[in-house]
Structure 1
Amino acid sequence: MISLQGPQGHVDAGGLAERQPLPAHTIWIDLNDPSADEAAAVEAATGLRVPSRKALSEVENSSRLRRLRNGLSLSTPMITFDKVDSGLKPLGFVITRDHLVTVRFHELRAFAEVKKRIGEGDAACATSTEIFLLLMEELVDSLADALEEMGADLDALSTRIFDFDVKTGAGKFDPKVPRRRDVALRRILRSIGRRGKALGKIRSSLLGLERILPFVAGECETILGAELEPRFETIRRDIASLDEFEIRLSENVQFLLDATLGLINVEQNNTFRVLTVVSAVGVPPTLIASMYGMNFKAMPELDWAWGYPYALALILISALIPLAYFRVKGWF
């Protein structure tokens, strides 16, 4: 899908389908999951090469940051911000003096916000560089919001882990809470894993933007205009602060992971302890039962009228004594 933006907002892109020239005052050409025909139409109208998804997915730095004859070609992975299962998809920019071409393959709130700000006249957008900076600011803001939300989620997980119980604090059973502690711990472990995975993707997105900005800023004097350098520096400082915040969240994820694994070990130890108690309790009754199960003729208890109740009582007492001992020791 093609979307055109000028200094005053949206520009009709109908003529591009027939390979017509770009409408007047068009500065920003936004391609959202473009087809081959759409990419070819933009290339014919601008004379710029629209990078393919494969080209934007290259991981080497020389492919992500390239100097063109009349501009710059940039790419970075960007998180999809999907709460269920976030992923990374490539995001590309082609910047010249007259135009900014963006190529993306998923919806991004930052792009919608920049288009809204341009339409409302809420930001300086007379040049391609100014629109590029608006996009960088909104992308950084989106990543900051994602990290803040991640921090709140980790705080909630921390409460669940360190106040761990399968019942509510009031003692009433909550049907949403699993009855088995191991099931609850597995759910917590999966939650930590999802957040750790999302943090890794946010980190990749921040790293991509962190590489782009110095490269673009270095070209300001010859291509983009030196008066915009302070805005680049502000965005770079914002990214640096987000890097520090992300590192602290990653450390928190590792801490919560270690705590959860510790609880799982405690649960496993409890299981082995119960098995140990059962084994120890079962040994004396088994010994007595096996002794009275021997078929010797000279066993005096065989002639007792109360011999059978006596044997049963002895078996019961031999089981209760170890149970009482383990109970006193606090083993269960």
Structure 2
Amino acid sequence: MLSLHGPEGAADHAGPSPGSLPPYAIWIDLNDPNAEEAERIEAQTGLRVPSRQALSEVESSSRLRRLKTGLSLSTPMITFDQADSQLKPLGFVLTKDRLITVRFHDLRAFAAVKTRIAEGDGPCATSTEIFLLLMEELVDSLADALEDMGADLDALSTRIFDFDVRARPSARPDDKRPPRRRDLALRRILRGIGRRGKALGKIRSSLLGLERIVPFVAAECESFSEGEADQRFETIRRDIASLDEFETRLSENVQFLLDAALGLISIEQNNVFRVLTVVSVVGVPPTLIASMYGMNFKHMPELDWIYGYPYGLSLITLSALVPIVFFKIKGWF
């Protein structure tokens, strides 16, 4: 989808002459463009529209390039509006007169910039100023994503460390029974930690891409930037640095919660083995007594006792109860 924008907002697609763009169309936004749209923009601007494959290159020399008339930039950018976040390439072609953006998913930052341009919120008379607006909104979107991630991790932390406190949401405060299907609850916690960890990795990739783009553009576009551009570039750079630190702390928190969840799983496994150990120990003495009296030797005094059978059953029962009482006193179950 192709959209054109000028200092006043959205622009018409038709220029003053056939095959031309409106002179006030500074920003050309290509959202998942087809071949026809890309060829049209290339013919009308003389600038090459990078393909998705070209924007997906990982080496810095491919992501940050100096062109004859401007700059070609690309970075992976996380999707914010889906439960299962994804990384998709985002590209910029920045010249003195034009800004071409190539993306393959909807981004709130782009919608926010279009609204700001239409409302006259912020300088947007040049391609560099619109580029700066996009950088500011992208950084703000990443900051919002990290804040939401922090809140999610706090909720996960509460679920992990209060795992044994309440049996059910409606349980009484003094009800300390363990929740049902503990294994299922722990698997859900692990899946939640894994999803947050994966999303943090994608946010980190997006931040790294912006962290490389901002100083490169600030150094390379001095010839066609003016006004407060340098100060705004520096502000964006500082914001990205602060988000890097915040993301690092969240990553450490994810690792801490993962260790805590694995510790809970280890405790649950130990509880299972402890129960099995108690059962096996309780069953050994009765088995020994029953085996002894089942040998059927000829001279066994108990065979002639009137109460030999009740005596044997009582001995078996007593030998099973003694270990149970012992382990109960020790608090093993």
TM-score (norm. length: structure 1)? 0.95
Residues 64-79 of structure 1: pairs in structure 2 closer than 5 A: 64-79=63-78
Task: Write the letter of the residue equivalent to 1:233.
Answer: E
Task: Write the letter of the residue equivalent to 1:321.
Answer: V
The answer for the alignment partner of 1:196 in structure 2 is 197
Identity between Structure 1 and Structure 2 (%): 76
Which deviates more, 6-15 or 253-262?
6-15
Number of residue pairs matched by the alignment: 329
The answer for the alignment partner of 1:119 in structure 2 is 118
Task: Write the letter of the residue equivalent to 1:87.
Answer: Q
Say whether 1:228 aligns with 2:229.
yes
Deviations 1:149-189 (A, max 9, x none): 0000111111111111362365259xxx9722121111111
Whether contact under 8 Å (2:286, 2:317) holds in the other structure is: yes
Say whether 1:161 aligns with 2:155.
no
Distance 1:170 1:328 in 2: 31
Whether contact under 8 Å (1:220, 1:229) holds in the other structure is: no
Whether contact under 8 Å (2:15, 2:23) holds in the other structure is: no
Task: Write the letter of the residue equivalent to 2:105.
Answer: H
The answer for the alignment partner of 2:134 in structure 1 is 135
Residues 204-215 of structure 1: pairs in structure 2 closer than 5 A: 204-215=205-216
Whether contact under 8 Å (1:29, 1:99) holds in the other structure is: yes
Whether contact under 8 Å (1:192, 1:257) holds in the other structure is: yes
Deviations 1:7-44 (A, max 9, x none): 1101122679x972112310000000001111111111
The answer for the alignment partner of 1:262 in structure 2 is 263
Task: Write the letter of the residue equivalent to 1:13.
Answer: H
The answer for the alignment partner of 1:279 in structure 2 is 280
TM-aligned CA distance change 1:242 to 1:161, over 3 Å: same
Say whether 1:25 aligns with 2:16.
no
Task: Write the letter of the residue equivalent to 1:12.
Answer: D
Deviations 1:200-249 (A, max 9, x none): 10010000000000000002322333641100000001001101111111
SS of the aligned residue for 1:221 comes to: coil
Say whether 1:298 aligns with 2:299.
yes
Residues 79-158 of structure 1: pairs in structure 2 closer than 5 A: 79-158=78-157
The RMSD of aligned alpha carbons is: 2.0
Deviations 1:254-311 (A, max 9, x none): 1111111111111111111111111111100110111111121222222223222221
Residues 43-82 of structure 1: pairs in structure 2 closer than 5 A: 43-82=42-81
Whether contact under 8 Å (1:220, 1:228) holds in the other structure is: no
TM-score (norm. length: structure 2)? 0.94
Whether contact under 8 Å (2:21, 2:44) holds in the other structure is: yes
Distance 1:222 1:315 in 2: 96
Task: Write the letter of the residue equivalent to 1:282.
Answer: G
Gaps spanning 5+ residues in structure 2: where? none
SS of the aligned residue for 1:63 comes to: helix
SS of the aligned residue for 1:224 comes to: coil
